[in-house]
Amino acid sequence: MRQLRTDRSHRARGLRAEPQAPCTGCGSVVAHHYGNSNVTILSRRNGAGAARVLFEIGVGGWGGRPGQDGPDRLFQGGPGLERRLVVLADCEFSAQFDRMQFAVPGLLGGGEGAPGELLLERPGEDLVRIAGKVVVLRPRAGDVPTVRAQGGGGLGDPRLRDPVIAAADLRLA
């Protein structure tokens, strides 16, 4: 099976970070890849336990972001994904996300998509929006980080679209 370049790049990032784990007081490193973003997690748990620092919430934990894609002539655009995780053990988290402040532009009159978001829910506290580029964030056990990938921009003027199809898309969003 052919390995994707992003997988190789991501594994290389984990290999660079692994030797630093003992220096930071962490037992191991887990690297995750979400679409076009890299996330590295330093865990104080050793061995295979580090792979369970983040646990994806079950049904409804991830999916498309309805209404977050740019309107266009033929299609609705490309909806971004949303992924909610729950932190099972205290850890350190870093991320390098793009398109968090500015949306993906549309082309030839198409609307722009929604910018990405990185949110952190802490039990008993307000929802916190986190910058897309963060070097060290220390989520605690029970925290729920949410990654909302940016929606794609539209292609073509949405006013030229069949009104019946456009209305159906709006109902589904």
Minimum mean pLDDT range among 37-41, 67-71, 104-108, 146-150: 37-41
- At 49, the pLDDT band (50, 70, 90 cuts) reads very low
* Mean pLDDT value of segment 20-45: 44
- At 83, the pLDDT band (50, 70, 90 cuts) reads confident
Predicted local confidence at residue 12, as pLDDT: 44
How far from 71 is each of 65, 103, 161, CA to CA, in Å?
Answer: 14, 13, 10
Most confident of 54-58, 95-99, 160-164: 160-164
Predicted local confidence at residue 28, as pLDDT: 42
- At 154, the pLDDT band (50, 70, 90 cuts) reads confident
- Whether 14 contacts 40, CB under 8 Å: yes
Closest of 19, 37, 24, 146 to residue 91, by C-alpha: 24
The letter for the amino acid at 151 is: G
Residue 106 has pLDDT above 50, yes or no: yes
Per-state percent for the chain, helix, strand, coil, to nearest 5? 20, 30, 50
Q: How many CB atoms lie within 10 A of CB 64?
A: 15
CA pair distance 117, 29, nearest whole angstrom: 24
CA pair distance 132, 4, nearest whole angstrom: 24
Give the tokens for residue 170. 């709006």
DSSP calls for 19-68: GGTTTTT-SEEEEEEETTEEEEEEESS-GGGGGGSEEE-STTSEEE-TT-
Closest of 134, 135, 129 to residue 115, by C-alpha: 129
- At 26, the pLDDT band (50, 70, 90 cuts) reads very low
Q: With pLDDT > 70 as the criterion, what percentage of the chain qualifies?
A: 51
Predicted local confidence at residue 78, as pLDDT: 65
Q: With pLDDT > 90 as the criterion, what percentage of the chain qualifies?
A: 1
CA pair distance 1, 21, nearest whole angstrom: 30
